[in-house]
Structure 1
């Protein structure tokens, strides 16, 4: 008995409507709709979706099923994709994606052809996520999209990850995601709980809890069922017993004439089924074993009934609204609670027999279930039938299907089932064609890819215990390489020992040795053992070329370039990466191409060619989206772009790039790199609390064990030193500096933005701590001076930092000015002022402070401003008032119109370059930021906000803010007038 009248929920409908309006007009939105089982979540969402569809929304619906917890990956997304293909056709759907990208979707639906043969499994899932994101964005360009995902409390790990990914990255597209879940099933350890907590913190995500119906709403529901106004006593009785849960109201109305109170929820729900004919009940029990939705052909096969007999048996259940007829000749239980209650009524023997029948029939004709589901359905039914032999065989097959769909967590679950059944099947190796160790090896590989380090280490340990290294040396070596990776991911030491052991196990030149040397040489590079790392890389390169392995050759070239970069040989780094890139293009390896590009972005920045580095990074990020690799390669590219922007003093843009990359959910190591760049900006701006939080997350604040990798521990320590200085703790900063210079396990890096930067910082720290700890400061200074001669100085960045470390601050300031790096320029000028002030030259100090002050002010570098102002007071000089906006606005005036190159006159408006800031043209340029000039250029080309957002990798909302600022600064009211003014004032030349 279902009410034809939609009762209550006006407030909830209003919230859904508001979220949809937000998605359509501003940015993507999501609603997490929680409620008790039987609380009316589906009815509410269906009503809202019907109304939205009438207004032109494209509604896609997918649901999770209980089977998902056993390894049915991406079930709701596969269902939504299948609906889309049914509506548009596979060809039109594929046309919405980049060339060839639809082959990734073939892992979910066969309509898209054969899956790509790409063996790079570690980034395969990231590509799949990118393609689904792109698909939704392209659909939303045609019309607003509503994606409904029901019952996410049953979602598999892969679906949960994809939900989180879409929620973070659907930023500007008019897409509303609605996700429903049973709030009463979320026990403390439920895997959905942390996902809900994470999503609730995202902008645009609303968490909506569906309350029970009030007594008046229950009365309205009963009136809808009965067709007239119910008696007060009936309403009172039903309300008290149902406690306002709509499904229970319906069940109680079925028993209106029965005065007994059901003993349990099971009894209440099953009551409507028990009134049906016995044959109908028998068929329903069989259908319940098939899941909440079962096809007519499959049910007929399992029941051994003809079409007519099956329809006659089900007709009473359909009339009683226990089940409903769905699209595709399928039957669906009206509510999953009804299916669960019916399934629980089966006797043990009946339960086993029915599930075995489902397995047999699906195996006989796999077309009886939706594409892609046969293997996991068969595995589920054999396991439920408690048939150990076929449960093992089918779980093994399903694990392979999961791996092909990049559902590695589900693959692990299925392989664990194989392992748990192994001893119960005497001839298990013969049955599945592999030994027990191979299953453990596959599980460990899946664990590495999915980031499940604890289980991965367990699998590797088990596999190693079963192998004899004298007879299986290559397998043992491969496992040791894997264990090294897992230890690194977990933040544990010992990975290098594993890799060295693995190298000794494969002394003969061949593919196995190349693989081990590739990983070992890379590890050595990262810990700054570049000499040995380079030697092993060259050996592996010779072998790779002899056996004709181009992919390994390109991989090793990027390793070689890494060593060249760390040794400061940056021009050679560029050339080596170019060679790797060319090979990557020839073998169509997007990963190699993007890795080489990202490394060259870093090299260009370290050579002082930071503007070029930014442009190369933007090109690389665009390619990473095309290849479906943004979360890994693109996020790393964005990190390197942010480093270049930070160096150029374009801090607002750097922060924007970092936040966008963090929103994509990058792997932990890339997240750490991004946070460190954000820490540099925070330190320069004096954002002490933010810097502290970053240091805590990257493990640098409380004296934890140093990372093995040089770039990580050196950057962590440098940021920690900045934090101590900002906190007014120069002695603690000095101790940290002493530590970074005295670590003897690795030589000091010659990379400009790493080793030379830390030497320059050490000079600053020693000066700050000289009064409080003169002896320690002198010793640290001496240590720094002793390291410098052994370091390579290749390029202008290294030269500028070398000048700072030697106390040649005026020369350093001039060098930074030529490089267009305002913050170290202002820092050098301030240190130069302090140095000449100590000699009594107050006029010389004043000149330098007046030059540094507008630069620091334009940057919004508050700690440096405070230092400049304090020193100015000590030398008795005044600083000219600066009317430049802080942050990026001021920086535009400083770097583009002479403030970065102001001479020694001390006035922000005088000296070299000041004329560029005079007159209308100069004034406008001094106001417009570099980002606003980029936006203005695209506005003048007639581009929309969304087009500009895509071009510049920023949100449409941010573009709107930039356009408003541009109109105000140009004194115009329309985009057309802004374009005309830009051409008239020659702002785009």
Structure 2
């Protein structure tokens, strides 16, 4: 029986990997504390990566760890999505059962895992396909974290150089976002396979920049280590000459050492590596070699029943044929009655020896047997296996049908990137197959449309545009106006993702093609009305929304109604009517809850965070941001609405002066790989803090990426206004008021400016600062900008405390502005207003009044580390003779810094402090540096002494 077929151990001695094993062990210990996430183990083919991770796994199990294995196979690149994760999940189900695994996830979330394993029931019905993949990623992340609650968990993924795109994306997602302790992912890859264009290269580069991800390269064995390996295999000490010969010819690759010793006492070494690897195969009986060739055509892993069917052997005959291969360690027994080649190089070498006709016949046999009984392959793999084998068999008709079916399966598993090459294969075979349209019940254009849909959901913009252009070239807008309009809407979404111009023109063309009321028109009205609102064209956008709401009512489509209400709320926000904004967003939120639409719920929450911030209700905004983040996780929308919400939260924190927290939030958001538009929003928030702190290089880098320094054209008024504000701030930071004035002139020369009250007043307040600074060098130009600003201000309303505070700053009532900023907890704005008020008082001869304002402003600026403002305040203090304002040390330290100082005084390490305060080690390091600077000391011990001496921690 199979259980009796145990292969010999090629090398019973574990040789030469003590440092690497120690590194993996150390990484595991760090992971148990939450300081490590993943290890990337690279090495040449045959260098011993598998042996090392197996030894590490055995060692980890002995200390109570749960070890999950998942391997990538060459077939993954042809559409077998999530292969390693499916394998690991299948292992968990075998060990614990489906119900126990599903119980670890939020209610109903197990249905998402059904897209990987049918044991979890029917997949969730999901009309929002673009969010399904993100939700699947979240569920796998949650599963690992919940598993680690009870036991340290290690996930080992081998051969990620063969990983499919979806698996690579999930690997990157998990590596960036695992935060829970006791989880470690170990991944192996062939470093010698990574050519310049290999898709794994950018993933490795990205992960190399992620905290907690370790790169480990496995070197070849030294001469002494080869001697140890030989002694372990031979059972005796080899003579020097034999060691020299083996070492020289194998070059320290353990697999080749084993192959040479398999050749007998003479340690012969063929001319090519392939011949060397095949040596152990060619010494096997002919029937065994024949079955191995069949197995090689099936892949690196083949089930017993499938191999028996394809080889036309009985169970006993197959076992007899394979026994020598297993005894010779060419083949190994895997779980579920399957066989795997001991090393992928062996399988590759055997497969490459197949003659062309033999290659086609074997693939045809595999396809025929799987077609007859799909249970011969693991659940969920039949479609992609058939696509692979029929294509290898050069059966164009069957290959086309199988590729189409596999592509649809990939869609249901959210494996959009794997669907694309399958659909491209359908397109490639189309002209070779007569009646292709009838075979798959779809025309050629429909395949292109489906491919563009996959590209959109998978974020592959460039390929998506290619498919759309091809589809549009096949359609006539007079015969198929609806299909053309739908493609144009999709094309517009691609343009938005790439930050391209001209979206509104495309959407207007699409609307022209669908004049009749109905679903097709509603599908264009919704994105067009949103685009118009973002451009500031509120009247036209509102008119379209009213039409859309009528259509939604006729269609009974509450999700469509919710989307349109959210667009309407954008218009209210631009008009500065925040109460109407909140109320309209709440109506959309209720519809989202009724329809269980994560998209509507999270979008409504994100928009209300923005509205509450503009109303100065920052505490409510922060609480809502946390609620929104939880909702984004629940509905699998972290990388969509979730990151937008995180940026909203960072904006609130930036506004109220909690800048370090804001930076930490932005760093977390960036780790999720946001889409370009969201990333730009995040960069603008980060640039505001960098400007306020005088971080020249960081500001310049951000503005270069945004295209601000080259004044890249933008469509949306909010983006234009914020980019202009940052550009002006950059020139002021560098002491270039004339250049700042030039940017202001170009903005004012636009046909329209932002009508959103908060944005408008904020920019106008900055323009006053620019004009005041430029009066001495360019009085006429400054006067012209002031006059234009007056005209713009006349069209703005000051609704809400934030807009009113900016209006007061613009009008020059700086004391009132400072009081307004204090009421809504905006310390940086308050300090700036006090500084401006002090300047006015100083010019009028009121030195005492100026000094009083400066003494209030300085601790605010210092607490924020707003270096440029601190320097302005100190300079003016010296000029008016107010001296350096005296405040106690405790006033210099923020509440968070006092908490950190208290723990420093207790002798805690940065890691201990981070754990106790629920912040990152990096943030603790920043706080400690600030404390040392403010106390004027150079060490933690001196800081602790100063704290006790000055009674800073008595409270």
Q: When the two structures are superposed, what TM-score results if normalisation uses the length of structure 2?
A: 0.93
SS in 1 for 2:308: helix
Q: CA deviation at 1:440?
A: 0.6
Structure-1 residue corresponding to 2:494:
486
2:293 aligned residue: 285
Other structure's SS at 2:41 match: strand
Answer whether contact 1:643 1:677 (CA < 8 A) is retained.
yes
Match in the other structure for 1:898: none
Q: In structure 2, the residue corresponding to 1:34 is in which secondary structure?
A: strand
Give the Å deviation of 1:926.
10
User: Is the CA contact 1:832–1:845 (under 8 Å) kept in the aligned structure 2?
Assistant: yes
Alpha-carbon separation, structure 1, partners of 2:400 and 2:797: 60
SS for the counterpart of 2:302 is strand
- CA distance in 2 between partners of 1:241 and 1:573 (Å): 75
C-alpha separation between the residues in 2 aligned to 1:443 and 1:111? Answer: 29
**Which residue in 2 is equivalent to 1:749?**
755
Which residue, out of 415, 418, 424, partners 1:416?
A: 424
| Greater shift in the superposed pair: 429-438 or 643-652 | 643-652
**Separation in 2 of the partners of 1:793 and 1:713?**
21
Q: Which residue of 2 aligns with 1:18?
A: 26
Distance 1:295 1:956, change over 3 A: farther
Residue of structure 2 in register with 1:463 after alignment: 471
Alpha-carbon offset, residue 927 of structure 1:
4.2
Q: In the alignment, what sits opposite 1:386?
A: 394
Contact map agreement 2:115 2:412 (CA 8 A) in 1: yes
Tell me what 2:776 maps to: 771
Q: Is 1:474 paired with 2:482?
A: yes
Where do residues 49-68 of structure 1 align in structure 2 (5 Å cutoff)?
Answer: 49-68=57-76
Measure how far apart 1:136 and its partner are.
0.7
SS state at 1:305 partner: coil
Cα pair 2:33 2:181 within 8 Å, conserved: no
Give the 3 Å change call, closer, same or farther, for CA 83–958 of structure 1 in structure 2. farther
- Paired residue for 2:851? 846
Distance across 2 between alignment mates of 1:263 and 1:729: 70
Tell which deviates more after alignment, 235-244 or 628-637. 628-637
Q: 1:357 aligns with which of 352, 355, 365?
A: 365
The answer on 1:829 being equivalent to 2:834 is yes
Residues 544, 550 of structure 1: 8 Å contact kept:
yes
**What corresponds to 2:574 in structure 1?**
566
Match of 1:500 among 502, 508, 512: 508
> Are positions 1:726 and 2:733 aligned together?
yes
Contact 2:718 2:754 in 1 (8 A): no
1:665 matched to 2:673? The reply is yes
The structure 2 residue matched to 1:265, chosen from 273, 279, 304, is: 273
Aligned mates of 2:499, 2:255 — CA distance in 1? 50
How far apart are 1:399 and its partner, in Å?
0.5
| Residue 863 in structure 1 maps to residue 871 in structure 2 | no
Alignment correspondent of 1:761: 766
* Aligned equivalents of 2:782, 2:857: Cα separation in 1: 26
Q: How far apart are residue 649 of structure 1 and its match? A: 1.1
Asked if structure 2 preserves the Cα contact closer than 8 Å seen for 1:38 and 1:245, the reply is yes
Contact persistence 1:27–1:174 (CA under 8 A)? no
> 2:839–2:876: 8 Å Cα contact kept in structure 1?
yes
Partner of 2:160: 152
Measure the CA separation in 2 of the matches of 1:890 and 1:730.
33
Deviation at 1:737, TM superposition (A): 1.9
- Aligned with residue 128 of structure 2, among 117, 120, 124: 120
Gaps of 5+ in 2: 1-8, 904-912, 936-952
Pairing 1:786–2:797 present: no
Matches within 5 A, 1:228-267: 228-257=236-265, 261-267=269-275
User: Are the structure 2 counterparts of residues 634 and 422 from structure 1 closer, same or farther at C-alpha, using a change threshold of 3 Å?
Assistant: same
- What whole-Å deviation, never above 9, does each CA across 1:461-507 have from its counterpart, x for those lacking one? 11111111111111100011111111222222221111000011111
What do the CA deviations read for 1:665-705 (whole angstroms, capped 9, x no partner)?
222222221121111111111122211221122221233x2
User: Match for residue 89 of structure 2?
Assistant: 81
1:92 corresponding residue in structure 2: 100
Identify which range, 772-781 or 292-301, moves more after superposition: 772-781
SS of 2:154's partner is: strand
State the Cα distance separating 1:332 from its structure 2 match: 0.8
1:110 aligns with 2:115: no
Per-residue CA distance 1:549-577 (angstroms, 9 max, x = gap): 00100011111111111221111000000
1:906-921 equivalences in 2 (<5 Å): none
1:530 counterpart (523, 528, 538) = 538
> What displacement does 1:959 show?
9.0
1:798 corresponds to which of 791, 796, 803: 803
SS at match of 1:201: coil
Bigger mean CA offset, 552-561 vs 773-782? 773-782
- Hey, what does 1:539 align to over in structure 2? 547
- How many Å separate the matches in 2 of 1:435 and 1:166? 39
Q: Classify the secondary structure of the residue corresponding to 2:674.
A: coil
Distance 2:593 2:600 in 1: 8
Match of 2:943 in 1: none
- Superposition deviation, residue 891 in structure 1: 4.7
User: Take 2:45 and 2:422, find their aligned partners in 1: how far apart are those partners?
Assistant: 28
Count of matched residue positions in the alignment of Structure 1 and Structure 2: 919
- CA distance, structure 2, for counterparts of residue 450 and residue 528 of structure 1: 30
Q: What whole-Å deviation, never above 9, does each CA across 1:440-463 have from its counterpart, x for those lacking one?
A: 111111111222111111111111
Q: Summarize the Cα distance change of 1:957–1:798 in structure 2 as closer, same or farther, 3 Å threshold.
A: closer
Cα distance between partner residues in 2 of 1:453 and 1:397: 24
- The one-character-per-residue Cα deviations of 1:174-227 (angstroms, maximum 9, x if unpaired) are 211111000111111111111111111111221111111111111111111111
Q: Partner of 1:198 in structure 2?
A: 206
Task: State the alpha-carbon separation in 1 of the partners of residues 319 and 917 from structure 2.
Answer: 58
| Corresponding position of 2:879 | 874
Contact conserved, 2:42 with 2:188, CA < 8 A, in 1?
yes
Query: Secondary structure in 2 aligned to 1:8?
Result: coil
Once residues 762 and 823 of structure 1 are traced to their aligned partners in structure 2, the CA distance between those partners, rounded to angstroms, is 18
- Contact 2:717–2:753 under 8 Å retained in 1: no
Tell me what 1:735 maps to: 742
User: Matches of 1:60 and 1:947 in 2, distance apart?
Assistant: 31
1-structure distance, mates of 2:267, 2:131: 61
Deviation readout 1:417-444 (Å, 9 max, x if unpaired): 1111111112110111100000111111
SS, match of residue 276 in structure 1:
coil
The alpha-carbon distance between structure 1 residues 134 and 945, as it changes in their structure 2 partners (threshold 3 A), is: farther
Give the whole-Å Cα distance in 2 for the aligned partners of 1:131 and 1:962.
34
Q: What CA RMSD, in Å, does the superposition of the two structures yield over aligned residues?
A: 2.4
How many Å separate the matches in 2 of 1:142 and 1:948? Answer: 24
Pair 33,926 (structure 1): closer, same or farther in 2 beyond 3 Å: closer
Please report the TM-score for the alignment, with normalisation by the length of structure 1: 0.90
Q: Show the counterpart of 2:148.
A: 140
1:443 aligns with 451
Distance in 2 separating the partners of 1:860 and 1:431: 68
1:708 maps to which of 715, 737, 741: 715
Q: Is the 8 A contact 1:830 1:848 kept in 2?
A: yes
Residues 744 and 767 of structure 2 are in contact (CA less than 8 Å); yes or no, is this contact kept in structure 1?
yes
- Give the distance between the partners of 2:756 and 2:495, measured in 1 at CA: 28
Indicate if the aligned counterparts of 1:27 and 1:172 stay in contact, CA closer than 8 A: no
Q: Is the 8 A contact 1:734 1:769 kept in 2?
A: yes
The verdict on how the C-alpha distance between 1:589 and 1:945 changes in structure 2, with shifts beyond 3 A counting, is farther
